[in-house]
């Protein structure tokens, strides 16, 4: 009995549509998040993440509707992030059918929000998303905001420690340096955050080659999140799982592709 590593595809959603939609031939509508979620489920995804990048409140309402429809047909854990600023926002998403929410900027702006959400719903619903990059802070890693464009002036390791104390249930670590490069995860950053995080760690940013996934696990990640390598069909989820299984990592549901 061994806990499997988790492979988590992330869908960027705006106004009810998937951004960076894919060319899977078996999709009727590549932009439909519910259909893509179902496809990833069938392919062996261990969880799903929707990142709501809608700019408007009507876009957010649409996202609630997508969460409802997804929860009606996909029976694996669903995390939703983007634009969550209050306990009431979390309540709406959970009632719609999300299992977890991820917060980022709003947690930096008001750290007490972390404790408020954890107290009300339990730590297990709360993922802290950390957009970090290498910088001359105490640990050598800093937290950024606005998609990596702005420095928050906060040291990434101290922030993770504090958030664990406040009650987050999981850390999603996004390397802003590695993001989009497909040159591999930031292994040093994963190892550094692993050394201070007492909760599960999801690594994100930089996945390219299949061996990159294994390297991130070796550095201490418990789960791996990726967007573009799956959306653009560079790798299928089954390919990643088959590779990891072959190299003796514990994975669930290896579906041949």
Partner 1 sequence: MIAILDYGSGNLRSAERAFATTGQEVVLTSDPAIAIEADGLVVPGVGAFSSCMNGINAINGVSIVQERLQKERPVLGICIGMQIMFSQGTENSQGQPFKGIGIWNGVVDRLNAPILPHMGWNTVEADPNSVLLKGIEEESFYFVHSFAAKFSVGEKQSWSFYGERFLAVVEDGYVCSTQFHPEKSGTAGLKLIRNWVDSL
Catalytic residue set = 12, 131
| Helices (H), ranges, the chain | 33-43, 57-73, 87-96, 105-109, 112-121, 156-166, 187-196, 210-218, 228-231, 237-246
Closest to partner 1 by CB, 2 vs 23, is 2
Q: Is 203 helix (H, G, I), strand (E, B) or coil?
A: strand
138-197: which residues touch partner 1 (CB under 8 A)?
A: 169-170, 197
Site size toward partner 1, by CB under 8 A: 38
Q: Please state the separation of Cα 163 from the chain's center in Å.
A: 17
Residue 204 CB neighbours (<10 A):
27
Question: Counting contacts by CB under 8 A, is residue 76 touching partner 1?
Answer: yes
198-237: which residues touch partner 1 (CB under 8 A)?
A: 198-200, 222-223
**DSSP bridge pairs for 126:** 101
- Stretch of 22-30, 55-63, 89-97, 147-155 contacting partner 1, by CB under 8 A: 89-97
Least Å from the CB of residue 33 to partner 1? 17
Least Å from the CB of residue 73 to partner 1? 8
Task: Answer whether 130's CB lies under 8 Å from 147's CB.
Answer: no
Q: Which of 78, 70, 71, 91 is nearest to 127 (CA)?
A: 78
Q: What is the largest CA-CA distance in the chain?
A: 50
Among 14, 145, 151, 253, binds partner 1 (CB under 8 A): 253
- Stretch of 71-79, 154-162, 205-213, 236-244 contacting partner 1, by CB under 8 A: 71-79
- Stretch of 13-21, 94-102, 208-216, 233-241 contacting partner 1, by CB under 8 A: 94-102
Q: Which of 160, 196, 229 is nearest to 9 (CA)?
A: 229
- Stretch of 70-78, 138-146, 181-189, 231-239 contacting partner 1, by CB under 8 A: 70-78
Closest to partner 1 by CB, 63 vs 144, is 63
Burial zone of 95 (CB within 10 Å; 0-12 exposed, 13-18 middle, 19+ buried): exposed
Question: Counting contacts by CB under 8 A, is residue 33 touching partner 1?
Answer: no
Question: Counting contacts by CB under 8 A, is residue 48 touching partner 1?
Answer: no
Which region, left, alpha or beta, applies to residue 160 given φ > 0 means left and ψ of -120 to 50 means alpha?
alpha
Contacts to partner 1 by CB under 8 A: 1-6, 41, 46, 68, 71-73, 75-77, 91, 94-99, 120-125, 169-170, 197-200, 222-223, 252-253
């Amino acid at each position: 009995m061994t806990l499997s590593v988790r492979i988590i595809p992330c869908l960027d959603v705006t106004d009810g549509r998937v951004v960076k939609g894919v060319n899977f031939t078996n999709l009727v509508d590549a932009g439909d998040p519910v259909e893509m979620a179902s496809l990833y489920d069938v392919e062996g995804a261990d969880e799903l993440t929707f990142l709501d990048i809608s700019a408007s409140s009507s876009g957010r309402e649409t996202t609630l509707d997508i969460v409802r429809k997804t929860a009606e047909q996909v029976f694996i854990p669903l995390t939703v992030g983007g634009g969550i600023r209050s306990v009431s926002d979390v309540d709406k998403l959970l009632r719609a059918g999300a299992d977890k929410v991820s917060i980022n900027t709003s947690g930096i702006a008001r750290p007490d929000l972390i404790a408020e959400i954890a107290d009300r719903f339990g730590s297990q619903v709360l993922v802290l998303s950390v957009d970090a990059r290498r910088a001359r802070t105490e640990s050598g890693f800093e937290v950024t905001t606005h998609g990596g464009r702005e420095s928050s002036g906060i040291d990434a390791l101290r922030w993770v420690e504090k958030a664990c104390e406040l009650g987050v249930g999981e850390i999603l670590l996004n390397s802003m340096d590695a993001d989009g490069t497909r040159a591999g995860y930031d292994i040093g950053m994963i190892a550094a955050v692993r050394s201070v995080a007492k909760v599960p760690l999801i690594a994100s940013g930089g996945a390219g080659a299949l061996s990159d996934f294994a390297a991130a696990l070796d550095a201490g990640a418990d789960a791996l999140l990726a967007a573009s390598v799956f959306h653009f069909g560079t790798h299928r989820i089954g390919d990643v799982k088959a590779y990891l299984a072959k190299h003796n990592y514990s994975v669930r549901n290896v579906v041949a592709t």
